[in-house]
Amino acid sequence: MVPKAIIGDTMAVVGFGRASQAMVRFLHETGIRVLVSDIRNYSDLSPQERELLDQCAAEFEGGGHSTGFLSRAEIVVASPGVDHRHSVLEKVRQSGATVLGELAVAADKFDAPVIGVTGTNGKTTVTELIGALFRAAGKKVFVGGNIGTPLGDYLLSDDEYEAVILELSSFQLELCGDFVPQVGVLLNITPDHLDRHHTLEGYAAAKMRLFQGGSEQTYPVINGDDPLCRKFAEPMDQVNWARFGHDDDFEAVIRSTRVELSGSNFELAGSQLANLSGLLNSSAALLVADRFGLDEAAVQQALIGFEPGDHRLQQVAHYNGITYINDSKATNTGAVINALHQVGGERSIVLIAGGRDKGDDFRLLRKSVAAHVKRLVLIGEASEALGDALGDLVDTDYPATLEEAVLRASAAGKPGDTVLFSPACASFDMFSDYQQRGAFFIEAVHRLHKRNHAEMHQ
């Protein structure tokens, strides 16, 4: 049982990113005395961040985390980006404080049904899609969590919602406390974040905490096609899974470009979801929509009109017969395998990959690279590791920058080929996040086209 703070108690927040800032404001508004610890120094904070600290009368520790500072709190809230096994947090626990995450803080504060979405890939798309289906059916929903809108924004809001739809990462679920959603969705499991979780089993265990309440409390939706989902779900024999995929016995069945469930058919032909990952994502979302009895005509219309967000297999240009695709959100091998499969073609892809290694096994890419890739262009800290795993399969370049990678990839392509930017790595060695990385790729492609166009007309 997670302890509850009362007015006048002291709580510490470790990390001061966007999610933690919303949590600091919420705790202050509920009468809690707040301590904030961050790896940045006070001088590195933005004016807005300093103002927030002043408004909340929060005491700040910069330049790292210390046991002495955090031990002054009865409860310590660790941001998702802070490993709960951090040595300072271990010492804080030993001093008698409780360490938990934002989900544990919010667990008893939801006034509407909660839908939690997790998985290695597709979380953002499915969270957005479920939100679109609910809105099309006339429901007012909060969509947030790992997707970008902090959970603290919900806690601070006076709005009345009919559902709360949360994208949940393994980092968030590690310290979720007593959090139990009314609906849990597990999209897939492939190795990811092993630099933090150390093993696939540890990573999967964090994901499976979404279903800790069992099917008595949570309607559990799972990808029946995914072998690792099946493996890690099997020991949870108290859970009656609602499965989606291609098996006729599943609760949502994919047939060609349509999804069948509960006697209804939803056609996706002509939509941006009429592909393998789109159909799997849609079938998961449709199980949730069916659970809440959403209007089928409104749901069908929303599916046809849905547009996945940027940086996910986003076609950005078609120059001189070569297609350029930005898949910057692909930060692990599972996402890259999916991208190579969907783009397809027999050795017609020039793949730009690399960045900061998250502990993934790049050898998992070998089969897909051998089938679809004609040349590798590898960048960033993980370029050598990627080359060791894949370089014997195809010719490989090692440019110093993403700008140069685009130039080399374009030079290696011919009409009918695709230049695919699908990194299989985190962005933090060269960029602040995958959005900045993807935006830079798009700009580099357009700069290349302008340069080539100018040279042709000189």
Q: How confident is the model at residue 456 (pLDDT cuts 50, 70, 90)?
A: low
Q: How is residue 216 written in tokens?
A: 């008595």
In the sheet with 10-14, reading across from the earlier edge strand, the strands are 59-61, 33-37, 10-14, 75-78, 98-100
108-305: CATH, from 3.40.50.740, 3.40.1190.10, 3.10.180.10, 3.10.20.90: 3.40.1190.10
State residue 8's pLDDT score. 66
Looking at the chain, the domain(s) classified CATH 3.40.1190.10 span 108-305
pTM for the full predicted model: 0.86
* Residues in CB range of 206: below 8 A, 6 or more apart: 170, 171, 173, 174, 197
Q: Which CATH class is domain 10-100?
A: alpha beta
Average pLDDT, the chain: 93
Q: How confident is the model at residue 3 (pLDDT cuts 50, 70, 90)?
A: low
Query: With helix as H, strand as E and coil as C, how does 173-186 read?
Result: HHCCCCCCCCEEEE
Query: Is pLDDT of 163 > 90?
Result: yes
The whole-number average pLDDT for the span 408-427 is 96
Q: How confident is the model at residue 344 (pLDDT cuts 50, 70, 90)?
A: confident
Each residue's pLDDT tens digit, 288-340: 999 999 999 999 999 999 998 889 889 999 999 999 999 999 999 989 998 99
Query: Is pLDDT of 182 > 80?
Result: yes
CA distance 418 to 63: 45
Cα 266–270–275 angle (5° rounding)? 75
Each residue's pLDDT tens digit, 199-241: 999 999 999 999 999 989 999 999 999 999 999 999 998 889 9
CA distance 16 to 81: 10
Residue 162 φ/ψ, nearest 5 degrees: -95, -15
Looking at the chain, the domain(s) classified CATH 3.40.50.720 span 10-100
Query: Is pLDDT of 2 > 60?
Result: no
CA distance 53 to 34: 9
CA distance 140 to 160: 8
H helices present in 100-242, as ranges = 102-106, 123-136, 151-156, 170-174, 194-197, 200-208, 214-217, 227-233
Q: Which CATH architecture has domain 314-451?
A: Alpha-Beta Complex (3.90)
Looking at the chain, the domain(s) classified CATH 3.90.190.20 span 314-451
